[in-house]
């Protein structure tokens, strides 16, 4: 029979584990990486709350020198100083010293300070060279100049740069240096509001989010879903129109078709959308599948029905998917995104035509934050002869940090290619 002491010890251990719990996605920050960043809206992953907990936990058990930064910090109260103090109290760690200038753990030698990047003098910047971790809060506001100074300054062996943000623009400077690069030494997380990424999500938060979307959907996309505050002037689709399509309920009626965007590079994803008339019925995403596997999965999604039209992005490796589907008896329509569109007076390529002919005002599409980001962020420009041309996948990926795989597959599912006319369904 267990002793009372052992039972109490187990209870205390469980309570400690519960206190030290953070957002499930942010558990990844416990792993070593040069750069660790997360972005999302209000309540998404409890970003600041979780990061503060992770930093205090690290400093409570090992010697850590941490600097908490933001672009402008006029007073200590504008920093995360109060949050760090509350976190120490919540975690019930003894022996910490909290002053108006710093927070220390004498037991481990840990030291935490708070600074405004734009106010740092040269000597103050140099003093940060030995720090182990720099946490940039509200990183969307940090300038290119501040990042130019900070990144090489935090250079001690094993040092890390952490940041959290809710984007302001399509390409904030911090996004350009992280999501917009191919560095292998980063952990980058996109966080969503709701109980999936935030275990402490409440009914009250849900009610506030629902009300904000009812009152001002455009602003709510930024506040809650982390969409950039400022949408690009030449975005193909407005967020309010995408949101309307995501909220629309259309009865499936008409032909069934699939659109397949095939992964070209290691971090791209193969995506398949299935729709009936104006309604999306199914969507699947997978990494690491070769063209044969992509074709087999698509054939299964089509329920092995040869009457289902399957449109494949046939450029590059997509040709292998087309060939395999034909071998299995599917009705395949290869689409060359760089090929000639139906209307060459309006568009330069099939890719342009897919984006500008998509029936956003009638479609019923999934409520998916990733899809929202990809559809709302894709930009276009005018050619010398006044045709609209969509930005390339490579340019989008450089600017936004990932390929628009979901958006491209969705639009392909709804596309009416030249010389392959089949109706969308009821008008």
Domain assignments of the chain as residue spans, ordered by start: 4-190, 231-414
Tens of pLDDT, residues 101-124: 899 999 999 999 999 998 887 778
> Going by CATH, does the domain composed of 231-414 fall within 1.10.3680.10?
no
pLDDT confidence bin for 176, thresholds 50/70/90: confident
pLDDT the model gives residue 170: 67
Domain range 4-190, CATH architecture: 3-Layer(aba) Sandwich (3.40)
The answer to whether 66 and 131 are in contact (CB under 8 A) is yes
Phi-psi map region of 318: left, alpha, beta (phi>0 left; psi -120 to 50 alpha)? alpha
CA distance 125 to 211: 44
Comparison of pLDDT for 115 and 385, the residue scoring more: 115
| pLDDT of 92 strictly over 90 | yes
The residue with tokens 């908490």 is 68
| pLDDT of 54 strictly over 80 | yes
- Work out the mean pLDDT of the chain and round it to a whole number: 88
pLDDT confidence bin for 7, thresholds 50/70/90: low
pLDDT the model gives residue 289: 80
Mean pLDDT of 159-168: 93
Which whole-number Å values give the CA distances from 95 to 16, 105, 380, in the listed order? 17, 6, 57
| pLDDT of 386 strictly over 90 | no
pTM of this prediction exceeds 0.95: no
Q: Which residues pair with 70 in a beta bridge?
A: 116
CA distance 188 to 203: 28
Q: How many CB atoms sit inside 10 A of residue 75's CB?
A: 9
Q: Which of 29-33, 81-85, 370-374 has the lowest mean pLDDT?
A: 370-374
């Amino acid at each position: 029979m267990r002793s009372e002491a052992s039972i109490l010890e187990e209870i205390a251990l469980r309570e400690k584990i519960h206190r030290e719990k953070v957002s499930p996605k942010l558990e990844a920050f416990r792993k070593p990486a040069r750069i660790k960043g997360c972005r999302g809206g209000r309540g998404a992953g409890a970003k600041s709350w979780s990061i503060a907990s992770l930093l205090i936990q690290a400093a409570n058990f090992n010697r850590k020198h941490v600097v908490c930064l933001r672009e402008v910090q006029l007073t200590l109260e504008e920093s995360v100083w109060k949050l760090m103090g509350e976190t120490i109290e919540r975690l019930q760690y003894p022996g910490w010293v909290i002053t108006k200038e710093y927070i220390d753990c004498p037991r481990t030698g840990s030291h935490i300070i708070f600074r405004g990047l734009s106010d740092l003098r040269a000597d103050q910047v140099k003093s940060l060279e030995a720090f182990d971790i720099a946490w940039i809060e509200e990183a969307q506001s940090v300038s290119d100049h501040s990042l130019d100074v900070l990144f090489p300054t935090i250079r001690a062996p094993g040092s890390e740069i952490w940041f959290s943000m809710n984007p302001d623009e399509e390409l904030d400077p911090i996004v350009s240096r992280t999501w917009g690069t191919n560095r292998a030494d980063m952990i980058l997380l996109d966080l969503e509001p709701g109980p999936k990424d935030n275990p402490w999500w409440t009914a009250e938060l849900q009610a506030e989010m629902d009300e904000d979307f009812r009152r001002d959907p455009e602003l709510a996309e930024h506040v809650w879903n982390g969409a950039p505050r400022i949408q690009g002037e030449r975005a193909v689709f407005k967020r309010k129109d995408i949101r309307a399509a995501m909220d629309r309920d259309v009865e499936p009626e008409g032909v069934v078709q699939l659109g397949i965007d095939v992964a070209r590079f290691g971090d791209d994803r193969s995506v398949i959308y299935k729709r009936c008339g104006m309604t999306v019925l199914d969507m699947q995403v997978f990494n690491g599948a070769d063209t044969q596997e992509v074709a087999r999965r698509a054939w299964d999604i089509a329920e092995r029905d040869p009457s289902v039209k399957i449109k494949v992005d046939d450029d590059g490796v997509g040709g292998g998917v087309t060939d395999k589907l034909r071998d299995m008896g599917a009705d395949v329509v290869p689409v060359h995104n760089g090929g000639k569109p139906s209307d060459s007076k309006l568009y330069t390529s099939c890719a342009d035509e897919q984006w500008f002919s998509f029936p956003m005002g009638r479609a019923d599409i999934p409520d998916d934050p990733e899809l929202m980001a990809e559809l709302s962020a894709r930009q276009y420009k005018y050619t010398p002869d006044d045709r609209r041309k969509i930005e390339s996948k490579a340019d989008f990926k450089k600017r936004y940090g990932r390929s628009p795989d979901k958006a491209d597959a969705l639009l392909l599912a709804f596309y009416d290619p030249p010389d392959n006319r089949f109706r969308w369904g009821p008008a």
